[in-house]
Each structure stands twice: as structure tokens, then as C-alpha cells.
Amino acid sequence: MNACGASELLLPALHPLELWQKTGRDKDLGEVMFKFKDRRERDLALGPTHEEVITDLVKNNLSSYRQLPLVLYQIQTKFRDEIRPRFGLVRGCEFIMKDAYSFDQDEAGLDKNYQLMFEAYKRIFVRCGLKILITEADSGVMGGKVSHEFMVEAPLGEDVVCFCPQCKSAKAAKGGSSLCFTCNINMDQVNTIEVGHIFKLGTKYSQALEANFSDKSGQLKPLIMGCYGIGVSRLISAIIEQNNDADGIIWPKQVAPFDIMILPLDITNASVMEQADKLYQELEASGLDVLMDDRDERAGVKFKDADLIGIPVSIVIGKKSIEEKKIELRLRKDKSTKNLSFDQALEAIK
């Protein structure tokens, strides 16, 4: 987001309901919104999304075309009273989103920011180890005329997408033909999870909330908006769905909770623990995140749990390691192993 010229902020989770009433989305979302009154009888809601709030913020802090373009983003908790919350992180009543909002003086500016975000999202999902299907989508209650969804193939996914195995194009499966008009072949239907959605909102919110700016001639005009969301919570489920085997998770390196897992096989052996602690300190000092399994468990249990957790690299240190002055390096992705000296292992990992 920073590379796209966006600035980070944090918006309130508690919203005045009157902002939503001005756009009419309080009725559009209906019972999905958590609504209540405070002790002063003011109508409030927990934010299911933040278009109204950020538009009001910008309205009160921006007045001139000289302050445009403006792109703001946050990583914030959202709340939706889902009818059928299920599948853990995939569909919950409370979840984390990364949402960004662009403000421009004309459609050309919106197009530029939209394309920047489109390309940034593709790079983000590739770094997360995901194979993405991108479809044109209905904007729904968000508004606007153009939107794209970023979908991840997953058996538990609730959205069905038609995918062409030849040209790799995709479209939402919402009735009609499943024929690929480019290749003239039938498209495959796959279950997917939506992990990202971007919208060209236009003036839907700026007109309703009177968020205007003065152009070069001094004329007041409504801000041209776009919004761009990534479901951070469900992204975790999507990554696991596409990166696993029969033994557990295979975290892509860029998003793994730890870089290295150290497995001392006998914690009662002072030499084993001394070597494990030394390696832990060296790796931590080099900037890597390291997890040490110093539980008093059998080797088989530790190996099984290491596969289940899915840290990209494991280092095994046992009595034999001390005798031969070598440690075992295990890669989770292909389960390959190497016996290396302490220094060789450090060099290979770094």
C-alpha cells in the first residue's frame, strides 16, 4: 500500500448511524449491521465497512484539488451479523480487513489508482503463495459501476467461478453460458473463496455526504472515489487451503508465522540443548523468527507436530548431531533433508 502512495490510518469501529442513513446503506445492509443506542440515546453501529466514515473524515479535512489525489488505508476489525457464520475464519461475525480508499478529482485519476491497486493486489496474493482467479463482479450494495473480485480455489468455498484451463480467464458462475468465448471450450466450475474486492465507487458516497472539493476554477465538485479490500482473516484460511498436504500446513515463506523451527530431540542432554540454544540465538540475531520445540516429547511427536504446524525449515539436533558435529536441515515443502555443519546450516538458512 505504501508503494502505491497510500497513507495508513486507523478509523473508529464505532460509527454514528446517521452517516449510514444519509447513504441509505443502513437499510441495504439491514440486520447484517450491529446497531444499538448509547446511554444518551444516540444511534450507533459497529462498522461492517468504512466508506461512510472515511468519506466524512475526508470531507472535513480536504477542500482543494491541490490536496488530490489522496489514498488512505487501514487494517481494522469489522463486524457483521452474518446469517450463517461458518468455516472458521472464512465467514465470521468479527474479522480483520485491509481496506483502502482513493479520492480523485476526475475519472482519469480514479482509473490510475484503480489500476495501481489492481496490480498491487495481484502481487500481494502471489507473495502469499496463492493462485488467484480474477473476475468482473457485481458491485452490490457497495455501489459503483466497475468492480473486480480476487478468488482462491478451495473446496469449502461458497462462490462458484467458471475457469478456462486454456486461456486462464475466469468469470462468476451466475447462470448463462459457461463457454469460454476466447477459446470456444466449456469452462471448469470451481468453488472459491473471495479474498479481495476492488470497486470504482464514483460519487455514490461523496454526493450523499456532500464531500466536495474546489477545482481549478473554484467550482465545487464531488470527490471521485474508489475502495479496495482484502479479507485478512479469511486470507489465512485461503493460504492453508492451497498450501497443505496430508500431514498439515505448508506455509509459504513470506507469510509463515516463523522462519525456522528448531527440534532438540533430547532436552535432558546438556550438549544438545547448548547447541540448540546457540543456534536459536544466532538465528534470532540475524533477524529471523525462530520457534524452539523444547517440550519433553518423543522425536516422533515433534516431527509430526512440525509437519502439522508447517514452518518452512526445521533444524533437528540430537545426540548424533553432537557426535558428528552436523545438524539435520529439513524443508517442509518437499520433505528433503540435508546434514550440514553448524556454520553451513547458518549460511544455507540466511
pLDDT in tens, 235-257: 999 999 999 999 999 999 999 99
Among 118, 100, 190, 196, smallest CA distance to 150 is for 196
Among 94, 51, 84, 345, smallest CA distance to 199 is for 51
pLDDT at 167: 83
pLDDT, average across residues 305-321:
95
Q: What is the pLDDT of residues 176-209, one digit of tens each?
A: 667 887 888 888 888 999 999 999 999 999 999 9
Domains delineated in the chain: 2-242 (3.30.930.10), 253-349 (3.40.50.800)
pTM, full prediction: 0.89
Q: How many other β-carbons are positioned within 10 Å of the β-carbon of residue 289?
A: 12
pLDDT at 176: 62
pLDDT at 342: 82
Task: Determine which of 10-24, 124-138, 204-218 has the lowest per-residue pLDDT on average.
Answer: 124-138
Q: How confident is the model at residue 157 (pLDDT cuts 50, 70, 90)?
A: confident
Under 8 Å CB-to-CB from 142, ≥6 apart: which residues? Answer: 49, 51, 199, 201, 227
Q: How confident is the model at residue 139 (pLDDT cuts 50, 70, 90)?
A: confident
Q: Is the pLDDT reported for residue 345 higher than 90?
A: no
Q: What is the pLDDT of residues 328-340, one digit of tens each?
A: 999 999 999 999 9
